[in-house]
Amino acid sequence: MTRIAVVGAQGMLGRDVVERLAPEYDVVGLSRAQLDITDAQSVNAVITEFDVVVNAAAYTAVDDAETHSEKAFAINARGAQNLASRCRDANTRLIQVSTDYVFDGTKTVPYAEDAPTNPQSVYGASKRAGEEAVMAENPDSSLIVRTSWLYGVHGTSFPRSILQAGLTRDYLDVVNDQWGQPTWTVDVAEMIAQLVKAEIGAGVFHATNAGATTWHAFATALFDLAGWDTARVRETTSAAFTRPAARPAWSVLGHDGWTDRGLPAPRPWEEALTEAWATGLSQFAVPKQSA
């Protein structure tokens, strides 16, 4: 049976990847406590006799990365390099999870898998450095899987924050000038499973749900699912929310990589959100019971 290591297995995406792969494969989930990917010796000792390694570990604090660049690069770049080097020596496929932040967000059409990268933040630069390191170390057996606007039930995400705020606040101001693809972690886990099953050795894939929307429209859709008055979600602009790290104005990714390899194209974000709501996301719209 194919043996798979999922690094970052306690994260929002990692947990869903483990859950999706476990019924079909021999899966070992590795938390940060079990594997420090910034330590090459630790990587070499732990990553043994695996057929596939999925690296879902990352430094994802986008704003904090602006003042903690060494830590961001240590995890997102050097950690990825350590894994790629070990996977090369062990004849193991590596699936490296990356991000839309490697792009500059200036387009108005979906970014193709081979579009030039131009990150505008430390976080984005660290993830691009991770991509480059992986492809330099193990180009023939590494896949880059970029995702964006992730949400799930296992960690902090935009839907959880919006719904919990909606329980206590009369109005929410949400930006309407940033475009992207709300992406359910369960769907990304399925896309990764498709890559494992197809035994694709190398390439770049965009693992996002299809379509495009704004943060404001996404929040409105969540209020609608909760049965709340959508007029409580008010439009604003990015200029009203100054943050340390630049956010891409356009984070819409293309999906030709899937169809080019004969794999199913990602489904629309609206369809995924409806299923996510019915299978767990709705819990965040329910007031917590007092002790």
Three-class DSSP category at 277: helix
Catalytic residue flag (residue 123): yes
- The token pair at 127 is 């993830």
- The token pair at 223 is 């209020």
Query: Position of tokens 């035994």?
Result: 199
Backbone φ/ψ region at 262: left (φ over 0), alpha (ψ -120 to 50), beta: left
Residue 138 makes CB contacts below 8 A (sequence gap 6+) with 84, 85, 87, 88, 94
Three-class DSSP category at 90: coil
Residue 190 makes CB contacts below 8 A (sequence gap 6+) with 20
- How distant is the alpha carbon of residue 120 from its chain centre? 18
Among the options 101, 123, 151, 171, which is catalytic?
123
Q: Are strands 93-99 and 142-147 parallel, antiparallel or unpaired?
A: parallel
Q: Report the alpha-carbon distance of residue 97 to residue 105 in Å, rounded.
A: 19
Residue 168 and residue 29 in contact, taking contact as beta carbons nearer than 8 Å: no
Name the residues annotated as catalytic.
123
